[in-house]
């Protein structure tokens, strides 16, 4: 049976002191929690937060990773650097990286394969825009992003992959897909994985929902058979809003 996995993506928020304070609050509040937990602070706070959560039930994640190990890549952070800080999980292909920073499927796939090579757990994000959904292309887009993102990933490596479905139109807008809408894409994504790796692998893979999950809708979303957790943005920025989701 798949274990529920709740991850917090802090995005470009929190100074070092603020990140330490939030991490300390989460360590206390989530001690003994029955789900899997991860938090992804900004790069500038990774080292500080690593010290706070070391030895706890909270994993340290990074919000992005470079597609190269080293070299002349100004402003990038390599997987070797992240590993040195104690990062265990990397988020790749988040909708903001895809749409604001124009990261395409080929680049995302390169990052996925490099991160897996270095032993990271990868959260691969997929999701359609409002225009794509209204045009009836949600499954087409999510299926394509899944297949292209996993290109070249072996069955053994798939054990290190989590997929996060993010309806782009529901991120930071206050809109949320209905539990049934979200379940439909999650189930379709599981079928897509089954076509690539077989039914057993598809039943095993964790698929998170990443579209404005909050305390008041988390229970209904997580009750769906193919929704295995959440990739939480805004609600992950305070103990009071994140912990109730984590303890559903």
Active site residues: 94, 166
The whole-angstrom separation of Cα 180 and Cα 202 is 20
Residue 184 contacts by C-beta under 8 Å, 6 or more apart in sequence?
none
Residue showing tokens 């297949």: 147
Tell me the C-alpha to C-alpha distance, in Å, between residue 47 and each of 69, 75, 231.
19, 17, 22
List 9's β-bridge partners, or say none.
40
Q: Are 234 and 8 in contact (CB under 8 A)?
A: no
Q: Are 1 and 36 in contact (CB under 8 A)?
A: no
Residue in the structure block whose two tokens are 């360590």? 27
- Cα–Cα dist 86/66, whole Å: 16
Rg of the chain in Å (alpha carbons) = 17
């Amino acid at each position: 049976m798949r274990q529920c996995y709740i991850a917090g993506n802090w995005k470009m928020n929190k100074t070092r002191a603020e990140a330490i304070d939030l991490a300390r609050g989460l360590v206390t509040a989530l001690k003994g929690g029955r789900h899997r937990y991860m938090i992804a602070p900004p790069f500038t706070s990774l080292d500080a937060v690593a010290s706070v959560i070391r030895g706890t039930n909270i994993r340290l994640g990074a919000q992005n990773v470079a597609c190269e190990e080293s070299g002349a890549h100004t402003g990038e952070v390599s997987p070797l650097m992240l590993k040195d800080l104690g990062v265990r999980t990397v988020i790749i292909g988040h909708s903001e990286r895809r749409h604001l920073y124009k990261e395409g499927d080929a680049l995302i796939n390169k990052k996925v394969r490099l991160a897996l090579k270095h032993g990271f757990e990868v959260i691969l994000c997929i999701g359609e825009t409002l225009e794509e959904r209204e045009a009836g292309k949600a499954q087409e887009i999510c299926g394509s992003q899944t297949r292209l993102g996993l290109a070249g990933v072996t069955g053994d490596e798939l054990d290190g992959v989590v997929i996060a479905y993010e309806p782009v139109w529901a991120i930071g807008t206050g809109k949320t897909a209905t539990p049934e809408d979200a379940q439909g894409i999650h189930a379709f994504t599981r079928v897509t994985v089954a076509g690539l790796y077989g039914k057993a692998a598809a039943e095993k893979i964790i698929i998170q929902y990443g579209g404005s999950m909050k305390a008041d809708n988390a229970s209904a979303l997580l009750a769906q058979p193919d929704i295995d957790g959440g990739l939480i943005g805004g609600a992950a920025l305070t103990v009071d809003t994140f912990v109730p989701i984590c303890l559903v």
